[in-house]
Structure 1
Amino acid sequence: MSRSQDPHPSRSFFPFGNPFRMKAPKGSHMSPQLLAVLQAFEVTLAERLRKLMPKSKDEILSLSWMTLAMKSLCETHNDVRTLITDLELPVSVWDEKWVDVYFDISTKLLDICNAFSSELSRLNQGNLPLKCALHNLNPASSKQFHRACTLLDDWRRHISAKNPRIEKCSTILDGLVGTLDLPKVKNSAKGKVLMQAMYGVKVETVFVCSVFSAAFSGSSKKLLDLDVADMYSWTPAFKSLQSLVNEEIRVRFSSGKFSVFSELEAVDAVVKELRPTIQGGVDTEDKVEKELLLKTVEELGMAAEKLSLGMDLLAKGVDGFFQAVLASRDTLLSSLRFDKTVNDRVLGRNIDQQLVH
């Protein structure tokens, strides 16, 4: 799959059709109990996707929305871990290649989490020149105004800089798209349930991560347009969400905004208003000018505080997703060790019986 290059692309997520349809185990009957488990998972996924639908376009790529998206991913990945436990699917049934692919996918997700965390840390470092600028704007003197101008320029340069680790995320996401066509679990109804659930998890994960990658990199070319088949109950909710979010992000980039992040854009808007004022000098003896300056500085302080708080909450959300992926890996590893121990004991028992006979 190639990335979208035009403003309104329509690229298929699956160039050769739905891989799940091709890979679904044949001859495996899904009992009413298993069907109920799968339906419950998909109903929950659909509800989560609907909760991510912004009430207005202004909410798109606000830090609060992004934090909600990360929370949604955590919950979905945790649900899959619970599903694996509930299915009691023996690890011995899992094809070795399937396990290898799973660990490769989780490694890529951990790499993406680390890249997002590094970018949030870098953006947070921009708080220092911003706070110093606000400190210099409190006492009114031309010397401190000049210093404040320099600090505001430093903030803008820092925020505009590119993070090489974020630039690599698009390559990692391409790799994730390539792993959607998972090897099938051998002729197993439980395996079919797991495969279909994993497909939904992958779609939500790739979508959210591609949105984050585009936002952090400052390029709409990082967005992925996923074409999901209508056979899943959560498909309508996903298509509506993807269409609204991707379209709005492309509009913002095409309009030349400083940042697609609402909170960053809010800070920059105040900086643009404040900088010419203090650069030209403020008559501190003029009551009107002084009150106007104080009001603008107060607005900048509030916007900066909101940005800082939003970044901190989002960083915690990314860390939560990182921990959820790690927990899933640990669950599978524990199952593998347990399965190997059981097999070794059975093998040892058989050998003992042969020796007796």
Structure 2
Amino acid sequence: MSRPQDPHRPFFSFGNPFRMISPKGSQLSPRLLSLLNAFEETLAERLRKLNPKDKNDILSLTWMNYAMDSLCETHTGIKTLITDLELPVTDWDEKWIDIYFDISVKLLDICIAFSSELSRLNQGHLLLQCVLHNLESNTSKKFVQVRSSLDSWRKHISSKNLRFQNCRSILDNLVESLNLPKVKNSAKGKVLMQAMYGVKVLTVFVCSVFAAAFSGSSKNLLDLDVPNTILWAQAYCNLQTNVNVKIRETFSGGKFTVLKELDAVDSIVKKLYPMIQDGLKPVEVEALQNSVSDLRTGAERLSQGLDFLAKEVDVFFKIVLSGRDALLCNLRASGAVTDPMLGTNVGEPTV
């Protein structure tokens, strides 16, 4: 993805991200401390709710939809916090702006990859519909077409999406961005940077899990160490451990996918295929009817789950994009934009 209006902005290394919490410099007033605590308590609660009681629910499309919804709410929450802090863009350190633009363009890239994969997986629904339609006839000729459609479906869903080739490098850059700039003499800036740290940790976690699920590779799974002094640290560590361990166990079991609904449909297909291999025996008719019913239900559940998740990913994409637009407008209004290319409105992404 390329944006001519976004000049190259390298990541910066700022050392200890929690140097800003040291007693030196500006201290937090009761109001600022209350704003920060409220934000972090809300984040901790989201992390706890995201940690499923039943590990088998991990990487169901329902769980992934909730994870993306939590990410959307958290990004919306940081916008609200910035407003409550009454921290005008003219007071933003240039390094903060550099980091924000760099992170946001990478998030837009990874959203496009997620949307591409969700669309690709949902295309397989058409093949399953062909299977169901042909199975209604119960003729040998139709069974040949059913086998062909099932073969095509298996080949389609097991193929690799090239958009995920650069996913790990994007994730590594996002991890590098977790380091926070050193804040001097700005209590509001300290609150913003600490809150932003929580937003970025959740963002890296969700994107890492999604990338692992969609790419079919645990190499995209990241394990982050967060300081245990943070209010939401324990909730995050519990979530990360449960989710990452479950995903790695699933991959080690030899399954081609960790997506629960997709794996369920694949199991039905594996059961159905031998029944239509050499024609039906009388005793297999009822078993076939049951498998067809299971396939119809599973295919519909998979398609709906993919649709809902695609909509949630699109919501997140728009939140990130609108945030970039808002910052650019504020920079132009304050006269802080010196690069004419940076002052151009951000439009839809170029794929």
TM-score, normalised via structure 1 length:
0.87
Please tell me whether the aligned partners of residues 19 and 182 of structure 2 are also in contact (alpha carbons under 8 angstroms).
Answer: no
Question: Which deviates the most, 38-47 or 99-108?
Answer: 99-108
Identity %: 62
Give 1:294's aligned amino acid: Q
Gaps of 5+ in 2: 1-12, 337-351
| Residue equivalent to 1:251 | 249
Q: How does 1:262-273 map to 2 (within 5 A)?
A: 262-273=260-271
| Residue equivalent to 1:280 | 278
| Residue equivalent to 1:326 | 321
Please tell me whether the aligned partners of residues 81 and 331 of structure 1 are also in contact (alpha carbons under 8 angstroms).
Answer: no
Distance 2:15 2:242 in 1: 23
Residues 91-148 of structure 1: CA deviation (Å, up to 9, x unaligned) = 2222222212211100000101001000101111111111111111110111111110
Question: Which deviates the most, 235-244 or 331-340?
Answer: 331-340
Residues 262-313 of structure 1: CA deviation (Å, up to 9, x unaligned) = 0011000000000011012114xx3x42222111111111000000000000
CA drift of 1:23 comes to 4.5
Distance 1:225 1:153 in 2: 37
| Residue equivalent to 1:9 | none
Q: Which one of 111, 127, 130 corresponds to residue 128 of structure 2? A: 130
Q: How does 1:202-281 map to 2 (within 5 A)?
A: 202-281=200-279
SS of equivalent to 2:286: helix
Please tell me whether the aligned partners of residues 78 and 328 of structure 1 are also in contact (alpha carbons under 8 angstroms).
Answer: no
Residues 299-328 of structure 1: CA deviation (Å, up to 9, x unaligned) = 111000000000000001100111111122
Distance 2:123 2:183 in 1: 47
Q: How does 1:1-357 map to 2 (within 5 A)?
A: 19-24=16-21, 26-283=24-281, 286=282, 288-340=283-335
Distance 2:174 2:121 in 1: 26
Distance 2:35 2:29 in 1: 10
Distance 1:86 1:18 in 2: 28
Give 2:69's aligned amino acid: K
Distance 2:91 2:232 in 1: 28
CA drift of 1:167 comes to 2.4
Please tell me whether the aligned partners of residues 14 and 181 of structure 2 are also in contact (alpha carbons under 8 angstroms).
Answer: no
Please tell me whether the aligned partners of residues 63 and 314 of structure 1 are also in contact (alpha carbons under 8 angstroms).
Answer: yes
Aligned length: 323
| Residue equivalent to 1:354 | none
User: C-alpha root-mean-square deviation of aligned residues, in Å?
Assistant: 1.6
Distance 1:274 1:265 in 2: 14
SS of equivalent to 1:19: coil
SS of equivalent to 2:335: helix
Distance 1:19 1:68 in 2: 32
Residues 64-89 of structure 1: CA deviation (Å, up to 9, x unaligned) = 00000000000000000111111111
Please tell me whether the aligned partners of residues 18 and 180 of structure 2 are also in contact (alpha carbons under 8 angstroms).
Answer: no
Distance 2:101 2:134 in 1: 51
SS of equivalent to 1:126: helix
Larger radius of gyration: 1
CA drift of 1:24 comes to 4.8
Please tell me whether the aligned partners of residues 98 and 184 of structure 1 are also in contact (alpha carbons under 8 angstroms).
Answer: no
CA drift of 1:185 comes to 4.0
Distance 2:330 2:38 in 1: 24
Please tell me whether the aligned partners of residues 92 and 339 of structure 1 are also in contact (alpha carbons under 8 angstroms).
Answer: yes
Distance 1:204 1:229 in 2: 14
Please tell me whether the aligned partners of residues 149 and 278 of structure 1 are also in contact (alpha carbons under 8 angstroms).
Answer: yes
TM-score, normalised via structure 2 length:
0.89
| Residue equivalent to 2:339 | none
Stretches of 4+ aligned residues off by more than 3 angstroms: 23-26
Question: Which deviates the most, 121-130 or 305-314?
Answer: 121-130
Distance 1:307 1:34 in 2: 45
